[in-house]
């Protein structure tokens, strides 16, 4: 759910993707600027928050970093429900993780917020030699499905902030189109109404 008031946007963002794709590492890089070789497995989900300034708005991200294992899938709706943005992460060195990412995109398109800003992040771009998913393949898929693609590396910090910055930019633009003016409370109410009728 995204809410605006005096150009302050609170945006719920969810990270989805296969085990070990690097969801937690991406968030950790974005929020704390850190990277560890072995990030502890995420159980259930972990929460972070980070604020970004874009153009004339500040976007406060409420980030839910979900667990990657298939069976934790059943808990995911709880976290992506009402999310204003999603980052679907795959590992460019792992074709299966790309397949999994596609599934996530499908699910979000079917059950998520229709106005959701979706990003596809091909992580581990610092390992080009082990690449299994080509940029073209991913780019084609992203274009077909109205996502934006970025190949990232949590390890070297390439494109990590850019993904979130791009999302923030799109959110603030969408916000301006949706409600050029008006009261905060009204926005919230309508937002709630739309989100409750479109996702479970």
Contacting positions for other proteins (CB under 8 A): 1, 10, 12, 19-20, 36-47, 49, 60-62, 64, 67-72, 74-75, 77-79, 82, 96, 106-107, 110-111, 185, 188-189, 192-193, 196-197, 200
In terms of CB distance, is 100 or 170 closer to other proteins? 100
In terms of CB distance, is 107 or 139 closer to other proteins? 107
To the nearest whole angstrom, how small is the minimum distance from the Cβ of residue 138 to other proteins? Answer: 20
In terms of CB distance, is 1 or 139 closer to other proteins? 1
In terms of CB distance, is 6 or 74 closer to other proteins? 74
To the nearest whole angstrom, how small is the minimum distance from the Cβ of residue 143 to other proteins? Answer: 21
To the nearest whole angstrom, how small is the minimum distance from the Cβ of residue 67 to other proteins? Answer: 6
To the nearest whole angstrom, how small is the minimum distance from the Cβ of residue 160 to other proteins? Answer: 20
In terms of CB distance, is 181 or 197 closer to other proteins? 197
3-state secondary structure the chain: CEEEECCEEEEEEEEEECCCCCHHHHHHHHHHCCCCCCCCCCCCEEEEEEEEEECCEEEEEEEEEECCCHHHHHHHHHHHCCCCEEEEEEECCCHHHHHHHHHHHHHHHHHCCCCCEEEEEEECCCCHHHCCCCHHHHHHHHHHCCCEEEECECCCCECHHHHHHHHHHHHHHHHHHHCCCCCHHHHHHHHHHHHHHHCC
To the nearest whole angstrom, how small is the minimum distance from the Cβ of residue 131 to other proteins? Answer: 19
Q: Which residues pair with 3 in a beta bridge?
A: 10
């Amino acid at each position: 759910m995204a809410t605006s008031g005096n150009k302050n946007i609170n945006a719920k963002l969810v990270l989805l993707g296969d085990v070990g794709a690097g969801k937690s590492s991406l968030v950790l890089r974005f929020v704390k600027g850190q990277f560890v070789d072995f990030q502890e497995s995420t159980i259930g989900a972990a929460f972070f928050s980070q604020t970004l300034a874009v153009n004339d708005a500040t976007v406060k991200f409420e980030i839910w970093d979900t667990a990657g294992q298939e069976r934790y899938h059943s808990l995911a709706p709880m976290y992506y429900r009402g999310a204003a943005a999603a980052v679907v992460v795959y590992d460019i060195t792992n074709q299966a993780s790309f397949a999994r990412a596609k599934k996530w995109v499908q699910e979000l398109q079917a059950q998520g917020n229709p106005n959701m800003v979706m990003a596809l992040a091909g992580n581990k771009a610092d390992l080009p030699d082990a690449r299994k998913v080509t940029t073209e393949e991913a780019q084609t898929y992203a274009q077909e499905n109205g996502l934006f693609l970025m190949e990232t590396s949590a390890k070297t910090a390439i494109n990590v902030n850019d993904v979130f910055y791009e999302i923030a930019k799109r959110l603030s633009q969408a916000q301006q189109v949706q409600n050029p003016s008006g009261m905060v409370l009204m926005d919230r109410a309508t937002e709630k109404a739309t989100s409750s009728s479109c996702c479970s």
